[in-house]
Amino acid sequence: DRNLEDEYLENLVVLSKGKFLSGYAVSLGLFILGPLVDMIQAWPLNRIDDPNVHSVMAKEAVPTFCALLVLLFGLVACAVAYETESLRRQRRVILQITGAVYLSYVVIMSVEFAMLGNLWSFLYGKQGWILKLIFFDLPPLISLLFMSLPTFLVGEIMFLAILSFSVIIPTVLGYWQSMNDIVNSGIEFTRFSPFWEELCSDEDRPDIVRSCKIDYVYKMALPYILVNALMIAVIIVSALSEATNRRLFIWKKLTRAQHSKIIKDHKKKEETIIEMFQSF
């Protein structure tokens, strides 16, 4: 029933006011601590008279400010919607606002990731894009874990994030190919560590070299696997939370209906007794 679904969503939004506002606050805090502070502290490099540096700073600044404005808009819009009397019975619009905000955030940061995904390679090597993804682009989405959004909305956001950050952009830009090149380059990948070089440089022991490659691939892919597993876990937790919320809503409706029936029956009995006395 559409009316019942609307009533459930309205009830969910009203009861989740603290979760929604704190979720936005957490997302903003993580975004400020990560991308915004990183851009600000690196801004003095813009004084270098080098077009490449200016280009990188511009590519970082524009998406950063756009994402910041989107998150701020979401927080302010939700706060206003909660306090606006005319939306007293239509506060489920907050769900639409929140969905649009986080989808927009994913799109904006996907553009930034496509342009500057390898920006951290100078520090963490060719696989620095995975760490940038984990510690730079995705943390603001952690708020979806406790905001009590409907599962379909969380699923849309996470599906877009997985598709763009983990599949399309790394594949198109060849991030996975760089790992494949290292693995297929024989024992050259051992140069990254004295331990690897000592243990895995014996070409007469192909079994050891193979084990080294497997260990290397696992350790390099593990952060990527975990971050995608966490995004899927957010969807699962959201589904479990929604199931609980729906059961509580149904129980609340049934309790109210039973209470209303008891009151009506009680009034009916009172009226019957009064009529009996009046008849005498």
d(CA 11, CA 119): 44
Highest-scoring range by mean pLDDT, 85-94, 162-171, 218-227: 162-171
Burial call 256-276: b when 16+ CB within 10 Å, e when fewer: eeeeeeeeeeeeeeeeeeeee
pTM: 0.80
How distant, in Å, are the alpha carbons of 20, 240, 251 from that of 254?
A: 27, 21, 5
d(CA 182, CA 208): 16
The arithmetic mean of pLDDT across residues 238-252, rounded, is 81
pLDDT at 108 over 90: yes
Highest-scoring range by mean pLDDT, 62-76, 126-140, 162-176: 62-76
Torsion angle of alpha carbons 61, 32, 30, 158, nearest 10°? Answer: -30
d(CA 143, CA 231): 11
Closest CA to 119 of 173, 200, 44, 188: 173
State percent of the chain over pLDDT 90. 16
Structure tokens at 31: 């975004």
- Band (pLDDT 50/70/90 cuts) for residue 76 is very high
User: What is the three-state SS of the chain?
Assistant: CHHHHHHHHHHHHHHCHHHHHHHHHHHHHHHHHHHHHHHHHHHHHHHCCCHHHHHHHHHHHHHHHHHHHHHHHHHHHHHHHHHCHHHCCCCCHHHHHHHHHHHHHHHHHHHHHHHHCCCCHHHHCCCHHHHHHHHHHCHHHHHHHCCCCCHHHHHHHHHHHHHHHHHHHHHHCCHHHHHHHHHCCHHHHHHHCHHHHHHHCCCCCHHHHHHHHHHHHHHHHHHHHHHHHHHHHHHHHHHHHHHHHHHHHHHHHHHHHHHHHHHHHHHHHHHHHHHHHHHC
Task: Show the CA angle centred on residue 199, arms to residues 193 and 205, nearest 5°.
Answer: 135
Q: What is the pLDDT of residue 69?
A: 95
- Band (pLDDT 50/70/90 cuts) for residue 24 is very high
Structure tokens at 250: 């149904």
Q: What is the pLDDT of residue 176?
A: 73
pLDDT at 50 over 80: no
Structure tokens at 180: 């494949």
Which residue range(s) make up the domain with 19?
A: 2-279
d(CA 154, CA 148): 9
- Total domain count for the chain? 1
